[in-house]
């Protein structure tokens, strides 16, 4: 009996030792969530990621600005705009984040006027001061959530081509490629984990542009609101220093140029004049197990 008890104690000690030396397992998710497993060692730099194979339609969730968003895999063999092959899967957000996200009214009592509520615009009320995505308010805002997307691939998001023209209204995903004329702008080095689609990627993933959620038919009406009638692409109309950049129009059903933030608009303090109607539909790439 004593020998049997000693044997059981020895087995228990060996199991406990194996568990402690392996380290705790963090962030384990099911098939409809992040589907990643991190193993923490004694030092943060020793973390490794367990890869899985992603299929089109798989979903994960991420937190942006205190809200949980669902992202859907739309390409299980992603290549960036320079056709650099990535062993990764592209995920596109299942909803459009409206332009007034983070906007609010604050009660103030200025010394030289009556007290009252003052409108404080959020970070993406407009695209930025020019059509250059590199220095845009949209990219700056997305880069602030790098920690939540630490497991995503760094993607070449440099904008090297602009376009002219627009696709026909209510053509939706049926638009022909000849509606927009490309022009080379020059090399731009830029990488991001969280980004928005380009016009080139919009062509590539046209069947997903007006779909939101697990649907087979387009449903843009689910996203349309006072401050969300389309979402930005990162490709300029004409030169990057210009004042227009392309959007996916949820109402008109086409891809067209839209004005970016200007100095005149920034001087206005009325909510409707400050805040645009174009939101943000972010995307990112997860490592793919072949």
Quick: pLDDT tens for 195-244. Answer: 999 999 999 999 999 999 999 999 999 999 999 999 999 999 998 889 99
Whether residue 46 has pLDDT greater than 90: no
Using H for helix, E for strand and C for coil, what is the string for the chain?
A: CHHHHHHHHHHHHHHHHHHHHHCCEECCCCCCCCCCCEECCCCHHHCEECCCCCCCCCEEEEEECCEEEEEEEEECCCECCCCCECCEEEEEECCCECCCCCCEEEEECCCCCCCEEEEECCCCCCCCCCCCHHHCHHHHHHHCCHHHHCCCCCEECCCCEEEEECCCCCCHHHCCHHHEEEEECCCCCCEECEECCCHHHHHHCHHHCCCCCCCCCCCHHHCCECCECEEEEEEEECCCCCCEEEEEECCCCEEEEEECCCHHHHHCCCHHHHCCCEEECCEEEEECCC
**Average pLDDT estimate for 63-82:** 90
Q: Are residues 239 and 103 in the same domain?
A: yes
* Residue at which a domain ends, from 11, 31, 50: 50
Q: How many domains does the chain have?
A: 2
User: What pLDDT, on a 0 to 100 scale, did the predictor assign at position 103?
Assistant: 78
pTM for the model stands at 0.79
Quick: pLDDT tens for 15-45. Answer: 444 444 443 333 333 333 444 433 333 334 3
User: What pLDDT, on a 0 to 100 scale, did the predictor assign at position 217?
Assistant: 96
* Residue at which a domain ends, from 28, 50, 72: 50
Backbone angles phi, psi at 209, to 5 degrees: -65, -35
Q: Are residues 27 and 62 in the same domain?
A: no
Listed residue (118, 87, 89, 92) closest to 105, CA to CA: 118
Q: Are residues 257 and 142 in the same domain?
A: yes
**Average pLDDT estimate for 264-281:** 70
Q: Are residues 281 and 223 in the same domain?
A: yes
* Residue at which a domain ends, from 50, 67, 89: 50
User: What pLDDT, on a 0 to 100 scale, did the predictor assign at position 106?
Assistant: 73
Give me the domain span that covers residue 2: 1-50
């Amino acid at each position: 009996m004593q020998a049997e008890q000693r044997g059981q104690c020895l087995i228990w000690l060996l199991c406990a030792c194996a568990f402690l030396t392996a380290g705790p397992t963090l962030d384990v998710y099911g098939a409809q969530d992040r589907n990643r497993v991190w193993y923490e060692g004694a030092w943060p730099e020793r973390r490794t990621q367990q890869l899985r194979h992603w299929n089109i339609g798989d979903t994960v969730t991420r937190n942006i600005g205190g809200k949980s968003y669902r992202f859907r895999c739309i390409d299980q063999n992603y290549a960036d705009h320079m056709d650099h092959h990535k062993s990764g899967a592209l995920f596109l957000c299942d909803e459009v984040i409206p332009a007034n996200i983070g906007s609010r009214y604050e009660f103030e009592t200025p010394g030289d006027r009556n007290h009252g509520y003052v409108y404080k615009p959020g970070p993406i009320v407009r695209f930025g001061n020019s059509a250059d995505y590199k220095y845009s308010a949209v990219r700056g805002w997305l880069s602030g959530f790098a920690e939540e997307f630490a497991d995503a691939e760094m993607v070449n998001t440099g904008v090297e081509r602009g376009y002219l023209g627009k696709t026909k209204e209510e053509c939706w995903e049926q638009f022909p490629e000849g509606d927009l004329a490309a022009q080379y702008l020059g090399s731009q080095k830029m990488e991001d984990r969280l980004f928005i689609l380009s016009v080139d990627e919009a062509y590539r993933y046209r069947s997903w542009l007006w779909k939101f959620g697990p649907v087979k038919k387009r449903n843009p009406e689910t996203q349309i609101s006072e401050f969300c009638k389309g979402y930005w692409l990162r490709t300029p109309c004409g030169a990057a220093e210009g004042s227009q950049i392309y959007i996916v129009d949820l109402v008109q059903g086409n891809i067209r140029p839209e004005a970016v933030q200007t100095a005149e608009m920034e001087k206005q303090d009325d909510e409707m004049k400050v805040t645009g109607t174009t939101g943000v539909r972010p995307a990112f790439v997860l490592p793919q197990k072949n």
